[in-house]
A and B are shown apart, each in its own frame.
Chain A
Amino acid sequence: MSVATAPRARLARRGGWPEALTSTDHKQIGLNLGACSLFFFLLGGVFALILRTQLAQSNMQVLSDNSYNEIFTMHGSTMIYLFVTPMAVAMATYLVPLQIGAVRLSAPRLSLAGFWTWLAGGLVMESSWLTADGAGRTGWSSYVPMSNSTNTPGVGQDLWVIGVILVALGLTAMSICVTVTVARRRAPGMALLRMPVFTWTALLSVLMIVAAFPMLILAMTLLFIDRTGAGHIYTGFAGAIDYQDLFWFFGHPVVYVMFFPYLGGAAEAVAVNAHKRWFGYTAFVVSIMMFSALSMAVWSHHMYTTGGVTNQYFAFTSTLLLVPAGIEYFDMIGTLIGGAIVLRASMLFALTFFLQFLVGGLSGVFVASPVLDYHAYGTYIVVAHFHYTLFAGSIFGFFAAAYHWFPKLTGALLREGLGKLQLAVMVIGTNLTFFPMFFLGNDGMPRRVSRYPTHPEWGTLNLLETIGAGIIALGVLIFLINVIVSLRRRIVAGDDPWLGHTLEWATTSPPPPLNFEAPLPPVRSYAPLLDLREQQLDRERRLEGAPA
């Protein structure tokens, strides 16, 4: 191991920062995007803590109304445009070529340009804080006519719109590169139906980005034209509905973009830590394809209360999502049963991902019903629902992936003890923060308010949520400490610390510039390394004369 890592360490040091930031190696691009996303995660988390401080009691007056609106807008925008989505793309960019046995990414310069465009978009969006009128302040969805120049004048809101356009352009470019890589650079034997589970989830994510993000670019460009005063595009009732249709045609697929790679990461962690290949592979692939197809046909379930869409159609497609979702859970359980389970931090995060996401998924079936959504829409029921999918779900999936692949990225293991402590802290914090929101919403608390009536239970529940948010912050802090400690005092991981199933574990940690130095093992299924181990085991058993 140490022999293998020495020449690479020299290579990485050769160019230093300038080389790292201009590298066309997909691993470096993925790391850059992931690191920047993680920075934005911390920033968005700080915004969340400020929001929760304001909401700790009914009228805290920590923030002015205007500041509150800026911060909730930038919390959502930072988390969605600058963390959960780009982190999904970062994981895809880093891992997909490795998992399919490719030596490099297709069109790597386009991917690099995409990264820089996305980063520019992020910086433009956050730079709106520096303007005299303040940051974007009409929510991450920025409905018209609220977001036009009459109702929300100012350069800050313009910068927010431009930022979103650049972010969408950048991520679309990067997604094209991953898609083409899957199409053209699979190793011999790597048929589409032998691609690892994570690669499938990542592929469908980038396909959804390519299909849906142009709609966001269009919606925001038209909004910008309106804001300059040059256009009268979003006018009247039709204009308001058109914007929402365009926005949610992006905005719903992105929900699955922010889910799939984390699902794939958690699925890999479950399979590897159960020492058993993922159950029901074909059904799983079909189900996530059905998921992706439906995700392009459910967008107006965000618009049940507008009176401008056919609610039954969108209720039909949205409720149908429970079929592929149910298959995923079946496959996860099928993988556990009969396995040889090791409860590492990655496994615990993955199982928690599935269980907590389930709360978000089941409440999703609830809000898919128009009659139930007439009450739930725009309230803390919805805030609870999507934080259970995005935070209690995807972010836990991200940590499962982080504990699973950190050794591959760095060559060092993360500390298991700190990982389990982080999990315990975050499970408590997450449920304390988000579960009371269901009750508040059902009881009548709207979202996006900086003050609320002084019902005694509301104050108590909100205070619990604020405490929970602080506990989550502690959990994230433990993760950062774990990363720093693990990089400073390295426990060498080796090529394959977990008995991995897929090709990235057949190369060194971290992988060399062209990914694989040794010849690839034969690919005869979606778990080629497990195949090798099973063959080896069978040979040993035959030699011992035991029945195979």
Chain B
Amino acid sequence: MNSPISTALPSVAASPHAKEFSSVSTVMLKVMLALAPATLCGFWYFGWPAISLWLLTVASALAGEAACLVLMKKLVRPALLDGSALLTGWLLAMSLPPWAPWWIGVVGGLFATVVGKQAFGGLGCNLFNPAMVARVALLVSFPVVMTAWVGPSGQSASPGLVESLSITFGGSIPDAYTSATLLGQAKTELSRGVTLLQTFAQGLPVSFSGQRPGSMGETGIVLLAAGGLALLAMRIISWHIPLAMLLGIAIPALIGHAVNPARYLDAGAHLLSGAAVLGAFFIATDYVTSPSSRAGQLVFGAGCGFLTWVIRSYGGYPEGVAFAVLLMNALAPAIDRLCQPRIYGRDWRGNPIKLNKEK
């Protein structure tokens, strides 16, 4: 009667006593893996300046996170290793103009984790998507730098390493490289009174392969969509937000274009431009800032898409994904409250279901 199990065991705990193998860091890691092909594509198209900017942004996001944790006397290592700050910096870098100067990456990275995340209480507590908070802060504060686009040049025509460093750290982009995005061009020309039919008489400059000016990581549409489908297959995200968001952009675009093609871009141009695909699969699906019920996710995604179209079509800025996502983030708690799933044995209002007595 004196075997070790006769006396108290080391661990008594509440059920369950089994656990699925998953953790926050594996979730983040899978998202990063899904994001990697499109990122490498961005590096390929936009060359060394994009790589430097990506590194600076990610490093700043991590530094901002670490500094806040130290100030709050929290454990730094586990929080940095969960990968959430890295992913925030990464997504921000994907949404920046690829040849933006170094301080854009640094200010943005710090802003994302310090103001966008830690000021709210850290992981899981932020109301707004930190990467989009930083992007919008930068766009509002430095509109000229944040809309200085370059065309993708591939490897041959891209600047060398030395010239790249001077682009990132020196100052401005050589004029020879600057270009305009489809959305930017449409907005500018429409504001000058030129119709879309005249502006794009040669056909719309859309590209599935991502050979177009745009943010560093938003142009590789096919690779982004493939990454998004991989996330769906790994059950990291569900289809509700991406599909609702893409339809939320496409349906009003279809209607608008059918009514007045001289004023409204078609659905294809909307989906293949800007951050529509990146936003639908990687940004709007951020767990922390989106609703958790399926119905809520449909409402949220549709809202993101519709607001993106509204801002693109009527707003002051050519691109609207970041603003749309932030606006819907603000609504997410309300959506969560209003779109609760029906509980087993209860009706939608939460009252026990009534049985229709047949006898």
Whether A associates with B in a native complex is no
What residues make up the interface of B, taking CB atoms closer than 8 Å to A? none
What residues make up the interface of A, taking CB atoms closer than 8 Å to B? none
